[in-house]
Structure 1
Amino acid sequence: MKKTSSIFLAALSASVAAPSALAVNGHYSLGIEGLGAAAAPPQGLYYRGYLVHYEVDSFNDGSGSSVPGNNSGTVSALAHRFIWMTDKTVLGADYGMETIIPMLDIEFDLDVAGGSRFDDDGIGDLFVGPIILGWHGSQWDITFAGGHWFDTADFDVDNPASVGKGYGTTMLTLGGMWHFDEEKRWNISALSRYEIKTKQDDTGVTPGDSWLVEWGLGHRLNNGLELGLVGYNAWQLEADEGAPTTDKAERHAIGAEAGYLWATAGVMLKGAYYHEYDTQAGGLKGLESDGNTLRLQLTKFF
């Protein structure tokens, strides 16, 4: 019974905990990027801060049905991302690198876990990305990147709010952006991530590979304000190895974004709201959260 309980709690932790509020079954937080995310920036050093607040409406099982009980929670995250685009080129693409340091505050009130309250806060698993490649045309951009989320944060198999995942994730990125007009007032973009996980030692489970897509359709007004429709879709492609079920996780959401660039100050500010309209749990994740996300994004060009 104790082993079953531990596996369940670890499953719930993998569902909505660190380092992202909205991971499907890995590390990457869905909804933190939006309009124009598939275009690598020009040469220079950049800081990008993501402030994310996620409100859990319910928890769903492997069929997408809400489980009974009064289950709620919040995930607040401040992720610090540093990007360096060098003056080097590789295969005709601008070359850069990046790292992400997430800070998390997680709270869950769960009837499904015996009416218990769980919480944790601290620095989540760290990401190091040694490869960013950006190709640019007159009306298009293509980006490829690769990196790894390291198992560096504290993980407690008995705490669903643990800020660590208990495993590592290799993440490969491919995305593209197209401007419909030469003035670049209308654009469409899609940014995909492929995640490959290591074994979670505390449970012996290896989460299955997953594929995530963030997309956006944007329009820049004459005053410089950009508005658009954004969303994300994510699928777990393989069942978790060693998990009690073969269920595969999914997450789907749609939302809106607004952003503005102060070119003289080298500052860009974006805000977005996402509503999840369909989620279902995978094998390691006995339950999957279903909720709404508010995200603010600040980029500073150095």
Structure 2
Amino acid sequence: MVRRLVWLFFLCGAVVSAVAGETGHYVNGVEGVRGSALPPPGFYYRMYNQNFQANRLMDGNGDEVNIGFNVDVWATVHRLVLITDHKFLGADYGCDIVFPFIRTDLDVDLLGVHDRDEGLGDINVEPLVLAWHGKQWDAAFGYSIYAPTGGYGANEPASIGKDFWSQMITVGTNVYFDEPREWHASLLARYEIHHEKQDEEITPGNDFHFEWGLGKTVGQIVDVGVAGYCQWQVTDDKGDDATNTEDRDRLFGIGPDVNVFIPPYKMFVGLRYITEFDAIDRPEGDSWTLTLTWIF
């Protein structure tokens, strides 16, 4: 739940005008093979640790722009989750909040750009989380808001803030193929609705994200599998300051995922690697994500 939890390299200012359009908040691929399976009632703390690196910047045709581009993003993201035993529409009601702390290093050699920024990024508040649980399935619904709390400068391309509010609607399901629930698949869809930037006349186009996972539980405490995602910009960027409005972002990613439950510490540890491909109008790279989850 966190887009520019770590994509906060989003090329702004002169760099954007030259090579890319706007991007949204949510970061794909951070939830893994059980992305749609919400926990039972309780209080949870999850920490995402992610490193994203890219030296490829793709244009509106999906071709690499040779400008000496390189971005290195480190993010530590803190998520507090409360799932209650109160029922709404037959589901457990919950809520959560996400605080991303990010460091971005960006270089564009051809343009002489060498920029760095670090600090608190854009906070995500999710006041509505619904979780349903069946014998062979789980389902989830969520509504959240991104607030422009991160620092932003139109001529500071490594800015960790986005400078606009967003709303996000989430729908997902987990399906179990056998009675012991060892083989499972996850589908998670998110739709981002972006609002106008505060300091520029630009309204980024809305984004649709589709994340998936296929895995197997081993020994009741280990999940192994493959996770991936697809993302499409579905409406055009708008506004007097918008550039390349005819280009819409696209991105795909895939990679292995391992999750382990450590009962004595009431703790989950997850590790996944994602490589991206077939990107349009945005950077294309690779990421490592380590997630730590504690049950209270």
TM-score, with structure 2 as normaliser: 0.91
The residue type equivalent to 2:49 in the other structure is: L
Alignment partner of 1:263 is 2:263: yes
Please state how far the C-alpha of 1:266 moved relative to its aligned partner.
1.1
Contact 2:13 2:157 in 1 (8 A): no
Q: Which residue is equivalent to 2:291?
A: 297
Q: Which residue is equivalent to 1:58?
A: 56
Q: Which residue is equivalent to 1:88?
A: 86
Please state how far the C-alpha of 1:214 moved relative to its aligned partner.
1.2
Please state how far the C-alpha of 1:182 moved relative to its aligned partner.
1.1
Please state how far the C-alpha of 1:192 moved relative to its aligned partner.
1.1
> Aligned partners of 2:159 and 2:54: how far apart in 1?
16
Q: Which residue is equivalent to 1:284?
A: none
The residue type equivalent to 1:219 in the other structure is: K
Q: Residue 145 of structure 1: which of 142, 146, 150 is its match? A: 142
Q: Which residue is equivalent to 2:36?
A: 38
Please state how far the C-alpha of 1:66 moved relative to its aligned partner.
0.5
Please state how far the C-alpha of 1:68 moved relative to its aligned partner.
1.2
> Aligned partners of 2:161 and 2:18: how far apart in 1?
13
Alignment partner of 1:67 is 2:33: no
Cα separation, partners in 2 of 1:192 and 1:11, compared to 1, 3 Å: farther
The residue type equivalent to 1:271 in the other structure is: L
Please state how far the C-alpha of 1:57 moved relative to its aligned partner.
2.4
Q: Residue 224 of structure 2: which of 220, 227, 233 is its match? A: 227
Alignment partner of 1:252 is 2:252: yes
Q: Which residue is equivalent to 1:210?
A: 207
Q: Which residue is equivalent to 1:176?
A: 173
> Aligned partners of 1:171 and 1:147: how far apart in 2?
5
Please state how far the C-alpha of 1:122 moved relative to its aligned partner.
0.2
Cα separation, partners in 2 of 1:83 and 1:64, compared to 1, 3 Å: same
Contact 2:55 2:68 in 1 (8 A): no
Contact 1:10 1:159 in 2 (8 A): no
Please state how far the C-alpha of 1:152 moved relative to its aligned partner.
1.3
Q: Which residue is equivalent to 1:241?
A: 238
Alignment partner of 1:188 is 2:182: no
Cα separation, partners in 2 of 1:257 and 1:225, compared to 1, 3 Å: same
Q: Which residue is equivalent to 2:116?
A: 119
Q: Which residue is equivalent to 2:8?
A: none
Q: Any residues of structure 2 matched to 1:10-49 within 5 Å, and which?
A: 25-49=23-47
* SS of equivalent to 2:287: strand
Alignment partner of 1:199 is 2:201: no
> Aligned partners of 1:25 and 1:274: how far apart in 2?
19
Q: Any residues of structure 2 matched to 1:155-174 within 5 Å, and which?
A: 155-174=152-171
Please state how far the C-alpha of 1:244 moved relative to its aligned partner.
2.7
Structure 2 unaligned runs (5+)? 1-10
> Aligned partners of 1:42 and 1:147: how far apart in 2?
20
The residue type equivalent to 1:79 in the other structure is: V
Cα separation, partners in 2 of 1:143 and 1:46, compared to 1, 3 Å: same
Cα separation, partners in 2 of 1:235 and 1:137, compared to 1, 3 Å: same
Please state how far the C-alpha of 1:197 moved relative to its aligned partner.
0.6
Give identity over the alignment, percent. Answer: 34
* SS of equivalent to 2:51: strand
Can you list the C-alpha shifts for 1:221-252, whole angstroms capped at 9, x where unaligned?
Answer: 23732110110100000011122321100110
Structure 1 unaligned runs (5+)? 16-23, 282-287
Please state how far the C-alpha of 1:140 moved relative to its aligned partner.
0.1
> Aligned partners of 1:11 and 1:190: how far apart in 2?
35
Contact 2:73 2:102 in 1 (8 A): yes
Please state how far the C-alpha of 1:265 moved relative to its aligned partner.
2.2
> Aligned partners of 2:20 and 2:136: how far apart in 1?
39
Contact 1:10 1:157 in 2 (8 A): no
Please state how far the C-alpha of 1:115 moved relative to its aligned partner.
1.9
Q: Which residue is equivalent to 2:75?
A: 77
Runs of 4+ in 1 over 3 A off after TM superposition: 5-15
Contact 1:12 1:160 in 2 (8 A): no
Q: Residue 101 of structure 1: which of 76, 90, 99 is its match? A: 99
TM-score, with structure 1 as normaliser: 0.90
Contact 2:57 2:283 in 1 (8 A): yes
The residue type equivalent to 1:294 in the other structure is: W
